[in-house]
A and B are shown apart, each in its own frame.
Chain A
Amino acid sequence: MKIYRNSKYLVFVLLLAFSNIIYSQKIIKGVVTDKSDNSSLPGANIILKNVNNRILLGTVTDPNGRYTIQVPEENTILHVTFLGYTKQEIPVGDKSVINVALERETTKIDEVVVVGQKKVSDGYMNIDQRNLASAVVNLDLEEVVNSSATSVTEMIQGRAPGVQITANSGNPGAGYTIKIRGNTSLNSSNEPLIVIDNVPYEGKLGLTNVSDLTSAHSPLSDVNPADIESIVVLKDAASTAIYGSKGANGVVLIKTKRGKTNRTDVTFTGNVSIQNAPKNVPLLSGDDMKILILEGEQNRGNLVEDPDDPSYPELRDDPTRQDYYNYNNNTDWLKEIQRTGYTFDNNFSLRGGGNTTRYSFSVGSTNQTGTTSGTRYDRLTTGFNLDYTISDKLSFKSSTGYTRSKTVTSEIWEKWVDEKQNPTATAGMYPSFLPVYKRDVDGNVLDDYYIPNPNLENNLFDRTKYNPYAWTELVSYNKHNSSFRTNLQLILDIFKRFNFTSRISVDFSDNNSDYFIPSVATNRNWNDNMVNRSKISDWNTQNVIQENLLSYQHNIKDIHLITIMGVTKMSWWKEKSFTEESSNSGSFALEGMDATNRWLSLSSGSGEYKTNSFMGNFHYVLLDRYILQGTLNYEGSSKFGYSNRYATFPTLAVSWRISDEPFMSAFEFINDLKFRYSWGYAGNDPKDKYLFFSRYSANVRYLDKIGVTPDNIQLNTLRWETTKTNNLGMDVYLFSNRWSFTLEVYEKYTEDLLMERNLPASTGIEKYWTNFGDVRNRGIEFSTDIRILDKAVKWSFNFNISTNRNQIVYLPEDNNMSVTWEEGYPIKAIMGDPIGTFYGLKYEGVYPTDEDAVVKDANGNIVYELDGEPKEIRYNDRNGYVFVGGDAIYSDLNHDGLINDLDRVKIGDANPDFFGGFGTRLAWKAWILDCFFQYQVGNDVINVARKNLEAMPGGANKNANQATSVLGRWRKSGDITDIPRVTFDENAHNNEGSDRYVEDGSYMRLKTLSLTYNLPQELLEKFKLQNLSVFLNGYNLLTFTNYKGQDPEISIASTNPWAVGMDKYQTARSISYTLGLKLTF
């Protein structure tokens, strides 16, 4: 019995060995020819692949176009490629001679229109897009490939439905805000996860003391757009599940280009752009501004008209004064700080490889000067990708990138002065009667900047504002970022259908920034802490992720297609930071920590955080039309306490390709019609680390000792915030794939919101993190592509539109009124409202006379006091400011005669009704014309810039310059206007947060218009080139909007759910023109 059994095995093994010998002896040969003229093609690539698409062997044809190749196993496929010819794949089967006639690939030279069915990788499983049951967008990069975009975000802005992208400012190197399908979280991050070549970027996890860095740098700017192979956006829980909690807000996957077998490409691209700022809001001239100030002082009763000793003598146009020429100018400060910006962008890449090794090397440099004086951005990117086939069982892949950038601005957004130092905002408000440079008694312009000493002339100026041009020239805020990322993977074929991959991703990034405000820029008294003030900070992070993937793939007679994968993943994230602030160094030539005379702050921080997950995925396709996929993720985060550390998140998706059903064969025009439904949970952990523990830190002092205080309470109940997503989708391809569209309908329901809840102050603790409340997002996304003409003239059109409705479904009663005040507007999270709702007074114009400023009841009748006088309308309480003629009318909604919080009602919602983009492309012979529009409709924006430029009261904006719109202000009793009087009085309330400054932020913008010329094939051959194209681009050429500010594209920070759209006079996006060249040989 035993022998029998053994011999059976022996025979089996012998048979196998024998068959192996037979196969190894098999040789095929043939000739490769050009189909059109039957000429042989020397140097064509011959590659032998097995059914799993793995390369077994390769060779090239000899000078006569002949080849010979050994066939090592069964079921192989011969791939024949030659540049400029259509690739052919021929199953070897029993054949021993295979002659191949290649067809000239004419379309390639003009234009490749990528149609429909793309292969999509979510970073783990490679699945045909046609077989996906989840909501995934694979961006068509062909259309943006020639854009002058210096960052990835610029490339994808407006092109992916459901993805909202806005730049934080028009300054070069400014960060971007990306939001996928609305806000799900009230206090945790809403930022999507960005994955570059399998290296996930954690975003900027809660580090409190480097505020400026968090807003400045985006991981997406570390990638050179020229290196990008593909961008995929994962939107629903079923697709993001594989990324666990980090992908809960959506995932943006970026893959950089890799080398290709037996082909060497050298590509050079170079662009030159010029940028100009859009039209400024017109401001008062120096002469008009002087009138305004004097009128304001008169209105508040401060003006003395004594001819011998008038108040504000500087503004009285008195040529006998020594300083006459310093106070009688008409300076347009915005013009002074604006200039034409330039960008030089050069990229070089070398890609190629042989049968076992493929490589891609790229280097790029970007040098940009912004439209605001003093702004700059310089970036160097390098990338190196390597693929190495060790054996037919084992291969190695790596992707490495190093990026260094330097951003320079003069904007210092910090809390230590009343007003943040943003030169653009300052230029808008700085007195226009002052000169840029000092002028002597005869009016000659001197070399020094004119910077009045704010301690001496505090009646005339806002003391926290400085000569904005001098500021941009003298102050620079330098932000340096260097980041290094690498991903190494080993892929092992264990058995035929089993595949094991182990990979490590490492991301190091170092951000440091510094500024120095020399005393000459502020001219303040020497003991003031603004004098020679400096700040240095450094923040570095390390992120290491280790993953092991075991996958099983089985295709059973093309009926069942099964993919199963198990993943273990561990991530470790660490940060360190350091910040130093000092002032009053001995001289403005003495910069840095050593020179300081006064320490203002010194702090350091560090943090660490780990996650761990175990995941199972499966994907099953039956008969190519019934698809079922699912994930089970068991994930733990070190941010939670022991009892709530791990949670399980399941997802499930089904799809039905109805077009493949026999009964659909009648509808021939339908190439593909698929319905999808997905369901799933995703978890979100808090942005802060170590929340669970009650921590004691030693950071306070008393006497000569360091004291220790408890920072927080122990959070035993804190648990995962979970979002349940339901997604219904439809993919349709019609008329020979010439018309395709995708429709998605979704609902995301977030429970157990992570939120910092206020505690009664009597507990001695301000806030603690806890879970409460529900938020819901519902939306529809639609995108379509149409190839209208497809002959000699090619004309295509694409369009996408998304809408998202956000609602706070549940909040406990005592937190219904969570309020954050910003710029005079309360921003509240209230049950039933969307996140991003803001409140304010209702503005109804201006009281023409004092007699009009009286209380009226609900029927419009005047309310009288006991003494028979009409009751005066007051601000805040019964002892508050009395409104008079020329003051703003605010609706007294409860008719109590007081304008106060009770009259502050909902006046805006920062969420757009819908947004998206559309474009069209026209190609004829060597020419391609491309244009793309981006739009957003129905979002409310608080125009803070206008609030300041039409303020005309005192306070922080004392004697600030104003927009020309204030020329229509109320001047005398009886004037009927909608601009109040000028007062410069901090007690007047004409500039409260009201709907006066809330504007519709809708816009449509011609984002890009580009014309490309591709050198025709004949000329390319003559010059031995593969490709040469020249293009001319226009960026932001046209904007259609009713918005009154300079630029309606206003970002809303996704890291802060309380943020609403506020135009704080960020540098506007420039109008730019680019000339570029792309050369491949």
Chain B
Amino acid sequence: MMKIMDMKFNIANYKYLLSIIIMFVLSTCESMLDTFPEDSKIREEYWKMQDDVESAIIGSYNSIQDCVLKFFVWGELRGELVKVSIDPGGLEDINEHLINEHNWYCRWHEIYSAINKVNTVLKFAPLAQKNDDTFSEEELDEYIGECLTLRALLYFYLVRTFFEFPYITNPSDNDQQEFSIPASSGDQVLDSIVSDLLRAKDIVRTDFDDLTFENEAIKLAYEKGRVTKPVVWAILTDVYLTKGEYENAVVYADSIIYDTRFQLVGGSQWMLNFFPGNTTESIFELQFSKTYYDEGKLASWFTTDFGDDNILFTNRRNRNTRTYKYWEGDDYANPSVKDFRGPNGTFSAENKEIIWKWAGKDRSGGSTYARDLFSNDANWIFYRLADIILMKAEALNRLQQPDQAIDLLLEIRERAGYTNETIETGYENSLEELILDERAREFAAEGKRWFDLVRIAKRQDNYEIIADRIADAIAYPSEQGIWKARVFKPLSWYFPIHRDELDLNRMLTQNPYYEEK
């Protein structure tokens, strides 16, 4: 109190007081509690322009890349062609049809993660179009069509793998929405898939000719690696064939077959389909690339060349079995007939266990380092022309046009190196089995076998289509009965829903086959 009279002191004091006040004011400027991430954008800032939609679709494709292991395991391992060599856990059980609800491969999270991303684009892309004047309605439609197609394809995998599962078309977006969604049946979902695809087929891109690319290779990668009209047609063919609507299947198969962009590659060049891929035969393949730092894992499952210690999957070539013949090629014993898909095609002649289709690079078959060093960039092939041709054959057979079906079958066989072959017109079911055999030779280890077996077994209502092949390939004669019993019931052809998923979503019920167990 006394000191207030002292002027000298006062000035000094106010100087400090002032600096304290300045400190205070400076710091209160910081007081707003808004912080925004630097490494990412918040949703309110996203969906402003066309590029945002494009990037989100690229993100969706990336998410689909994560599904490749599931595509392979679900579509291949329950069939008779591929054997699990080293099992990190759960794979052998699938291989041997001893699946339980704790098996990791019953988890479907990668698929739904991709579906969620696609659903997010479907919901928010129109918002971006509103915000961006240069973003036309037609361009928006192309993106919508692309997303509908991808979603249809993903659900098609779920239809073929699970009996019932949630069909979700809304993105998961905030913590106030309902997360436990009840299941729909596979048949219902197939109908939704068809209607999505029919809508998509009119609005998606035809090609990428309107865009400029750095080089031809990347343009090709876009043409084969993103959804265009032929991709929609291919999926429609497959879906209609599965649904048993053969006429429709033929219509969309023909759309592709008569599109001159697609040609079968010559027999000796059959390996080009897998290395480097993106051939004229290819319709849709999920792209992986070393150049663009986007490598996959596919090839590494079949070789140790990428530094992994173990080979996950090898071929199953037990002598004196039908499967052995598939791998070797029908007439491998006869040197005059060469199936280009046999040794050094589908498998390595040097190390016969190795699935050369994915491990190798050309027909040499002997190199230690088969693919280009460290370039783990094998594409995952969804559809190629040979597939469409055989699907059409299958449909024509059911439409009582066996001659035309046989012509298509022979087209594939001739390309593989068989000459002057004839096939006697057989009974509908037996011709179907011939087509099924041909599909084994052509698409071994491409993740199609199990779906093929189930489609035809269901159609013929004959579980032995599956059981005979599996028992023949895997079991000793004395044990074949046990093996057949494992696939006796149609419901056993579907995977169980993983136990964790049932626990987290009480609206779901287990596939009854696994409940009985």
Contact = CB atoms under 8 A, between A and B. Distances in A.
Contact of B9 (A391, A490, A704, A705): A391
Contact of A696 (B28, B42, B108, B225): B42
A868 interface: no
B507 to A, nearest CB: 9
Contacts of B166: 760, 762
Contacts of B176: 716-717
Nearest to B40: A697
Interface string A11-43: 000001101100000000000000000000000
Nearest to B508: A760
A702 B60 CA distance: 9
Given A528-B307, A703-B225, A694 B173 contact: yes
Interface in B1-42: 1-3, 5, 9, 12-13, 16-17, 19-20, 23-24, 27-28, 30-42
Interface in A674-710: 689-690, 693-698, 700-710
Contacts of A765: 113, 116, 172
Contact of A877 (B1, B23, B100, B287): B100
A328 interface: no
Interface in A706-730: 706-711, 713-718
B504 A758 contact: yes
B180 interface: yes
Interface string B150-167: 000000000000000110
Nearest to A503: B23
A463 interface: yes
Contacts of B373: 527
B305 interface: yes
Interface string B121-141: 000000000000000000000
Interface residues of B, number: 95
A762 B168 contact: yes
Contact of A707 (B2, B61, B226): B61
A1048 interface: no
A598 B59 CA distance: 24
Interface stretch (A182-190, A406-414, A603-611, A916-924): A603-611
B407 interface: no
A1080 to B, nearest CB: 36
A595 interface: no
B187 to A, nearest CB: 19
B120 interface: yes
A759 B179 contact: yes
B504 A715 contact: no
A20 B1 CA distance: 10
B37 to A, nearest CB: 5
A766 interface: yes
Nearest to B504: A760
Contacts of A612: 31, 33
B43 A761 contact: no
Contacts of A710: 43, 116-117, 120, 171
Given A610-B30, A717-B176, A765-B116, A702 B65 contact: yes
A70 B148 CA distance: 92
Contacts of A714: 43, 173-175
A761 B35 contact: no
Contact of A701 (B23, B27, B57, B293): B293
A530 B171 CA distance: 40
B484 to A, nearest CB: 16
B464 interface: no
Given A16-B1, A695-B42, A717-B176, A760 B501 contact: yes
A457 interface: no
B243 interface: no
A504 B27 CA distance: 10
A629 interface: no
Interface in A763-793: 763-766, 768, 770
Contact of A713 (B172, B180, B505): B172
Given A570-B27, A764-B115, A707 B62 contact: yes
A414 B63 CA distance: 25
B337 interface: no
Nearest to B165: A762
B506 interface: yes
Contact of B112 (A391, A709, A761): A761
Contacts of A645: 33
A391 B12 contact: yes
A769 B334 CA distance: 65
B286 to A, nearest CB: 9
Interface in B248-277: none
Interface in B63-113: 63, 65, 98, 100, 102, 107-109, 112-113
Contacts of B1: 16, 496
Given A702-B58, A702-B62, A708-B58, A502 B24 contact: yes
Contacts of A496: 1
A97 interface: no
Nearest to B27: A546
Nearest to A524: B307
Interface in A324-348: none
Contacts of A520: none
Nearest to A20: B2
B327 interface: no
A950 B117 CA distance: 48
A909 to B, nearest CB: 24
A56 B117 CA distance: 71
A759 B112 CA distance: 12
B55 A706 contact: yes
A572 interface: yes
Nearest to A759: B179
Contact of B13 (A394, A638, A877): A394
B16 A703 contact: no
A814 B225 contact: no
Contacts of A705: 54-55, 58
B485 interface: no
Contacts of B143: none
A492 interface: yes
A709 B58 CA distance: 9
A529 interface: yes
Contacts of B30: 546, 570, 572, 610
Nearest to A709: B59
Given A529-B307, A705-B55, A394 B174 contact: no
A549 to B, nearest CB: 11
Contacts of B113: 761, 764-765
Given A490-B20, A570-B31, A703-B218, A715 B174 contact: yes
Given A706-B55, A708-B56, A770-B175, A637 B33 contact: yes
17 contacts: A390-B16, A492-B17, A606-B39, A609-B35, A690-B40, A693-B42, A693-B43, A696-B42, A698-B55, A702-B65, A703-B58, A703-B225, A706-B58, A709-B60, A714-B174, A763-B116, A763-B172
Pairs of residues from A and B, 3 with the lowest C-beta to C-beta distance, nearest first: A764-B116, A707-B58, A707-B59
Given A394-B13, A693-B42, A704-B292, 15 more contacts: A502-B20, A612-B31, A689-B35, A693-B36, A698-B40, A702-B61, A707-B60, A708-B41, A709-B56, A710-B171, A714-B175, A761-B112, A770-B175, A817-B503, A901-B102
